[in-house]
Structure 1
Amino acid sequence: MRIIPHHLPTRTTAALLAATTVLLGSTPAIAQHTAGTDPVDCSPWMTPTVTPEERADRVIAEMTREEKSAVITGMAAYLQGWGPEFAGRTHGVERLCLPPVKFTDGPAGIGNGASGITQFPSHLNLGATFDPGLAQDYAAAIATEARGKGANAVAGPAIDIARDPRWGRFFESPGEDPLLVGDLGAAEVTGTRSAGIMGVAKHLGAYTRENGRNTDASDVTVDEKTLQEIYLKPFGRVADAGVSSVMCSYSQLSGTKNCNNSYLMNQVLRGQYGFDGFTVSDWYGQHNTVASANAGLDMQMPDSCFYSDHLWSTVDSGAVSGDRVDTMVHNVLAEMFRSGVVDSPPTGTQDAVVTGPGHRELARDIAAKSMVLLRNDTVPTDSGEHPVLPVDDSVHTIGLIGSGAGRDALGSGGGSGHVIADDIVTPFEGLYSRGAGNGTEVHYTDGNYLPTVRQLAENSDLVVVVMHRHITESVDNTDFRFGLHQRNIIRTALEANNRVVLVTNTGGPVDLDGYGDDVPAVLAAFYPGQEYGDALADIIFGDVNPSGHLPVTWPLSQDQMPTTSSFGSGAFTEGTGVGYRGYQWQSITPRWWFGHGLSYTTFTTDDVRTTGPNSVTATVTNTGDRHGDTVVQAYAVRDGIRELAGYSRVGIAPGDTVDVDITIPDSALARWDEDARQLVVPGGPVEVIVSDSAGGDGPSTTLMTTQSVFGAPVPEAPTWATVGNGDPAQEQEDRMACKNSASMAGFIGMASYFGMPQKEQAWTPVTDNP
């Protein structure tokens, strides 16, 4: 047994932070005398009955240049990568009763090394639930914990498209389909707002690689049709849902840095989507002052150089207008008023314990509902033919194999989306505890010694092999296979026993080429959070009927993907053929299609009919002997290619038949019209197939559509907008004035080539003991 030491995070500034939180806990009508200024009557903009926009205008009229910069810049010091609180914070303006914006990383729980929080399942797990209602609960719980820690902004939802499993942040995406990603992201926005804090959707736009990020090597070539139909659609959905902020990414589009990109921020985000919140740079993702300001970037994070004194020098020179700066400040302040973080600021502290039984139960529920049963063959045993899962009366002993079931259990991926649990329930702990409840013995080996693996497998009624694979922000992977020794463990177990379950504890699909066809049962756990072991036991023992469905396509092998050759090049040669779309176009059959997921019961679908201009109804029957959830999926067929047009997760009792209504939004049918500069719904008949995956069989109906436009057209760039990265001489001047920001930006780019070390999964030491 090896115990991994863990250390609680230091709290060197606890007293100062607590004092700050107390100060900002209530906002006085009259601000206190500060730094030689006279007291100010804040009541004109502290009246909730006045619109957020008017409140912002009123306070801006009273602000000095320095105070305006305090609203749109971070406080990170020289060579400080984050901070000084959480992921970062603005200065705030005490004189004018304006609190700072305090960000915490939060796609899957409170990050930044916090303790006393819940480590929720990853966004990929959330995608596998196909459940916007659950996504809303997920985000509300995370936002509540953030508020309890004193933060008023969460860096989430992450709504990037999962393009290739080699991406280091693959697990942070809800999936490969823009409809699913957008639906879940919009639900998360609602959940975050319900807690009275701000959410930050990320990362605009077409951000799908780590290597070379934040440098010229991150440049990608994506045609506008692909941008509009795949990568930008989820941002339109969260804008409609009222997201507070959008973060520009580390990547570049056709040579233009995304935090300098007027097309993305001015024309699409605000012009096409009507976004009215504020934009913020990814941490050190801003490279200059003039181009960023004129491209629509409102806030610099986590430091201040570009948008403090240097910004005002460019205003004085005429390179940036004073009105543009006021608009940047207005966008931030109006959203602060709109979200309630000024009138009802969080009163929590960073040392607060904000997790609890309710959130742990939610994490367990999401983990169980997101695990995808990919295969579950029937195999011969001493007591007859049995499906490998769930555990039944023929199973008296379980052989649990793999360090991923013990000390190497992964509840979270790495990077800014990493969350450290106070403690994590390992698969060994979960299965051992559940087995003790009904007399099922669970024996464990970490798998280091193959003869021990063989012996344990031979002497067990059921073998559960748990294999883990850690991926992280900051570096891409050359492959997505298990290591050689891990593959040998799997092969050894298969040679010794025909009733084997492979549990993949990974940040996405795994290349199972060479042995995958021989594994009779495969369960994808992804990164299921701190309740991993109990949720896994729920599925293995059948206490919960598996209901997760793949939010991404699972390749047959690494050499068989639409992006196999293009991933590292920066050229998105697959165009809109992302994920399952590309497999269809290239006539490739993957190992498992997007949407695939098995259950311990069975379902049939028939009598699909059109029930409205944007809806179809299917009759679904549970033909098995136990209650189960399924995801009924509707695919529009155009040019011979299926595309997800709608879905509904539904629970059905054994023997029952229900009618399932599926709404098909215009956004799912809209195509990019280059001439109209707009998304357009083509008119005419559209075949809709209702199936259990993108490649499955199913009945169909015909939806009659009327040609119409979807949303607003993309407007021309504002007259004051910078084209591309602007004047090279001006960019060089900006960088020279802000050497610290430039050096930190370079460090982020350099780190993408060697990665960052894996962090702890839990503050309580993870061991191999139950």
Structure 2
Amino acid sequence: MVQFAQGITAIQNSFASPDEIANSLYDQLTVNERLSLLDGDIECGTLLFTMGYQGYCRTPIPAGTIKRLGIPGILFTDGPRGITLGNSTAFPCSAARAATFDPALEEQIGIAIGKEARAQGANLYAGVCINLARHPGWGRAQESYGEDPIVLGSMGTSLARGAQEQVMVCVKHYALNSMENMRFTVNVKVDEKTLHEVYLPHFKMVVDTGVEILRDERKFTGFVMSDFFYGLRDGPESLKAGLDIEMPVRQVRAQTLPAALESGQLNMNDIKKSCIRILATELTYYAKIADQSTPSISVVGCVDHRHLARKFAAASMVVLKNDAPAPQEPSLLPLNRASVKKVAVIGKLANSQQTGDWGSSWVRDSHVVSPLSAFYQDTSLITLYNDGSNIRTAVETAKEADVTVVIVGYTGRDEGCEGGNALQDILWGNAEPSGRLPFVIPASEKDLPAWNPDAREVIYDRWWGYQLLNRQKNTPVYSFGFVYEENHEFEPSDSQKLTSHQTINRDDDDSNDHNLSIFKTIASSFKRSNQQPIPMDATNQINYPQQQHQQAVGSMSGSNSNSSNNGNNLQHRSPLLCTKNDRRLFYRQQSVDVSLSIALSGDSPLKYKPNPPVDVPAVVFFRSCGRCGVCCGSGCRCGCGGCCGSGCCFGCGSGLYCGFR
């Protein structure tokens, strides 16, 4: 009998491949054990009850564990902005991290998340969310990286690469998922050209570091799991289509697969394909980490991870305006400590802990610095607080202060455990506000695509965000990639945008890849206080002559290319790599004209003097709505407390609290 552990040793010593060991293990399994690989290990009612009093995914969720042969199965954890297990580090949300346009920094987040996941017993991390945020009304937009496929793919790839040092990684939600209210019933329609050119490329980017598309064209060799609860409707047909695991519980498949086998609707070959993929992926992972030590539990919420959370929170902040308080005076930011002795802080969100939205992005960090607590910890300041519920008293509070800081927003859960300290870094000039908008801010709701969160059928096209505005020739209030600029001059002015063109044919035999690059030295009087490379936008324009429009497929900053300051000159080389068979370019098309445009830009010239985080006691709130869905008017009666943000897990008025922090 071959045990799982013996198989790992054989793979490490190159005596056998993961597929060979997977087949050997499969042959030893009973029919019931084989079926148990294809869904979660826990009964639906048991998991829902556990989530009711414990919260979502506080411990790893198992699937496919077979103790007889030592098969560990999947030990699932979630969390696009930090691990949902235990009291993990709450990093800024993905939408905020996207504003850094910095894949290298995102990889550090992935490494930290991977360590915290494995230290708490998980082996699979499902927090790489790269769905396109087509409309701000999508309630889970904060879990993803904005509206641009290239940003999604680049940042998602980095997060996955970092986390994979410790755990297996699941990329979600493949691929037309941005309808939360009707997620169980909505039918999303899309034409094949748009699907391949817009909604799939970023998944390909991550998978390279449906299922014919995913397996045959994307060359995917791992396994596919369903979304949680009713992610499938037909157990046998879902298996035939290539969906390997139903998550997170024994639900549809447990009820239908045994009967389908008995009736002949399903055969063992259908089951074997999925089982081999699951076992081979697990074997590959465990062979890779066999010689690595498991991170200590002390890594969870450690000082290094908190420093990283603070650094990312500051780097993600976008300054939209920085006007002078009065004529002939300098811009308001950074604040002058010599003249500011008393600060008024206004708004309920100032006293809110920014640790995640509900469900898969809720991180229960045990130590959170809110904006208000960060002000209180500064003993050189007198801090006045008003929650803003009474405008008259808020105005009176502001009159007493040298400076007023107003904290407003929708949910205010974006900045992570060190958000308060990061805000201090920006306000006082200890960090540079270099964040760039990962989405466009239009002037009117009319500039957004049609949106009905309760629709049962929707059509996805290629027009949203900056694409839609460009098509309609409308000017946004703030454009995609906007970064605050001050005292920036470029000479000559006609060199601010550089473009290189190339026509690529599908049947070119000279090379599998095409590199398009720009190399230019520009005289610049860029007034910048540090020696960091000047950020630049590299926008890849793909021209489809037959359709008479241009498709902008992405923008990344200079951190993704090669730019440097050389005295007063700027040198920049930015490649565009086009794979010969990349369907984003060539879907049913013989050739395309590709251009690479480089636009110069910069950020606010603040002095950069990073300070270490200062630990302060966290403020913990416990609150309950008692009757979820009534006070907020949503009509929801599920009792989760998520729609109204109350934090109540029981809508029955039982008095039980989830411990919202």
TM-score (norm 1): 0.69
Relative to structure 1, the CA distance from residue 375 to residue 623 in structure 2 (aligned partners, 3 Å threshold; closer, same or farther) is: same
Within the candidate set 203, 207, 219, 2:173 is matched to 203
Which runs of structure 2 are paired with 1:272-283 in the superposition (5 Å)? 272-283=217-228
Correspondence 1:152 to 2:117 = no
Task: Report the 3-state secondary structure (helix = DSSP H, G, I; strand = E; otherwise coil) of the residue aligned with 2:469.
Answer: helix
Distance 2:489 2:580 in 1: 26
- Which residue of 2 is the match for residue 624 of structure 1? 527
Correspondence 1:686 to 2:595 = yes
Contact 2:58-2:84 within 8 A present in 1 as well: no
Counterpart of 2:285, as a letter, is S
Counterpart of 1:583, as a letter, is L
- Which residue of 1 is the match for residue 110 of structure 2? 139
- Which residue of 2 is the match for residue 35 of structure 1? none
Counterpart of 1:321, as a letter, is N
Per-residue deviation, residues 679-727 of structure 1 (Å, max 9, x unmatched): 658344636242549xxxxxxxxxxxxxxxxxxxxxxxxxxxxxxxxxx
Correspondence 1:73 to 2:39 = yes
Per-residue deviation, residues 224-278 of structure 1 (Å, max 9, x unmatched): 222222222211111111xxxxxxxxxxxxxxxxxxxxxx22x111111011100
- Which residue of 2 is the match for residue 103 of structure 1? 76
Which runs of structure 2 are paired with 1:107-256 in the superposition (5 Å)? 107-111=80-84, 114-115=86-87, 117-195=88-166, 197-215=167-185, 218-241=186-209
Relative to structure 1, the CA distance from residue 386 to residue 234 in structure 2 (aligned partners, 3 Å threshold; closer, same or farther) is: same
Shift of the alpha carbon at 1:765? 8.8
Counterpart of 1:207, as a letter, is N
Deviates more, 1:566-575 or 1:127-136: 566-575
Shift of the alpha carbon at 1:541? 0.8
Task: Report the 3-state secondary structure (helix = DSSP H, G, I; strand = E; otherwise coil) of the residue aligned with 2:321.
Answer: strand
Shift of the alpha carbon at 1:314? 1.4
Within the candidate set 365, 382, 386, 1:421 is matched to 365
CA RMSD of aligned residues (A): 3.6
Counterpart of 1:634, as a letter, is A
Within the candidate set 653, 662, 667, 2:574 is matched to 662
Contact 2:500-2:596 within 8 A present in 1 as well: no
Per-residue deviation, residues 496-554 of structure 1 (Å, max 9, x unmatched): xxxxxxxxx46xxxxxxxxxxxxxxxxxxxx0100000101111111111111111111
Which runs of structure 2 are paired with 1:361-760 in the superposition (5 Å)? 361-380=307-326, 384-392=328-336, 393-406=338-351, 408-434=352-378, 436=379, 439-470=380-411, 505=412, 527-557=414-444, 559-565=445-451, 569=455, 575-598=461-484, 602=488, 604=490, 606=496, 608=498, 610=500, 613-617=515-519, 619=521, 621=524, 623-627=526-530, 631-637=535-541, 638=543, 639=548, 641=550, 643-650=552-559, 657-666=569-578, 678=587, 682-684=591-593, 686=595, 688-692=597-601, 755=643, 757-759=645-647
Relative to structure 1, the CA distance from residue 552 to residue 286 in structure 2 (aligned partners, 3 Å threshold; closer, same or farther) is: same
Contact 2:90-2:364 within 8 A present in 1 as well: yes
Structure 1 unmatched ranges of 5 or more: 1-29, 32-39, 242-263, 471-504, 507-526, 694-746
Counterpart of 1:201, as a letter, is V
Per-residue deviation, residues 349-379 of structure 1 (Å, max 9, x unmatched): 9987622010001111111111111122233
Counterpart of 1:282, as a letter, is D
Relative to structure 1, the CA distance from residue 45 to residue 173 in structure 2 (aligned partners, 3 Å threshold; closer, same or farther) is: closer
- Which residue of 1 is the match for residue 301 of structure 2? 355
Shift of the alpha carbon at 1:609? 6.3
Distance 2:555 2:539 in 1: 7
Deviates more, 1:620-629 or 1:585-594: 620-629
- Which residue of 2 is the match for residue 245 of structure 1? none
Distance 2:475 2:485 in 1: 22
Shift of the alpha carbon at 1:180? 0.8
Distance 2:287 2:81 in 1: 22
Contact 2:374-2:424 within 8 A present in 1 as well: yes
- Which residue of 1 is the match for residue 215 of structure 2? 270
Relative to structure 1, the CA distance from residue 752 to residue 202 in structure 2 (aligned partners, 3 Å threshold; closer, same or farther) is: farther
Task: Report the 3-state secondary structure (helix = DSSP H, G, I; strand = E; otherwise coil) of the residue aligned with 1:279.
Answer: coil
Distance 1:342 1:71 in 2: 21
- Which residue of 1 is the match for residue 651 of structure 2? none
Distance 2:366 2:278 in 1: 34
Distance 1:68 1:330 in 2: 10
Percent sequence identity over matched residues? Answer: 27
Structure 2 unmatched ranges of 5 or more: 51-56, 502-513, 603-634, 649-656
Distance 2:191 2:63 in 1: 36
Per-residue deviation, residues 427-451 of structure 1 (Å, max 9, x unmatched): 12223445x4xx4543322112222
Per-residue deviation, residues 435-494 of structure 1 (Å, max 9, x unmatched): x4xx45433221122222212333433321101322xxxxxxxxxxxxxxxxxxxxxxxx
Relative to structure 1, the CA distance from residue 686 to residue 750 in structure 2 (aligned partners, 3 Å threshold; closer, same or farther) is: same
Distance 1:442 1:366 in 2: 26
Contact 2:90-2:355 within 8 A present in 1 as well: yes
TM-score (norm 2): 0.79
Contact 2:537-2:599 within 8 A present in 1 as well: yes
Counterpart of 1:273, as a letter, is R
Distance 1:656 1:764 in 2: 55
Contact 2:148-2:553 within 8 A present in 1 as well: yes
Counterpart of 2:17, as a letter, is T
Relative to structure 1, the CA distance from residue 608 to residue 53 in structure 2 (aligned partners, 3 Å threshold; closer, same or farther) is: same
Distance 2:139 2:401 in 1: 36
Per-residue deviation, residues 139-193 of structure 1 (Å, max 9, x unmatched): 1111110000011011120111111111110100111111110111111221111
Determine which structure has greater relative contact order: mean sequence separation of CA pairs < 8 Å that are 6+ residues apart, divided by chain length. 1
Contact 1:401-1:447 within 8 A present in 2 as well: yes
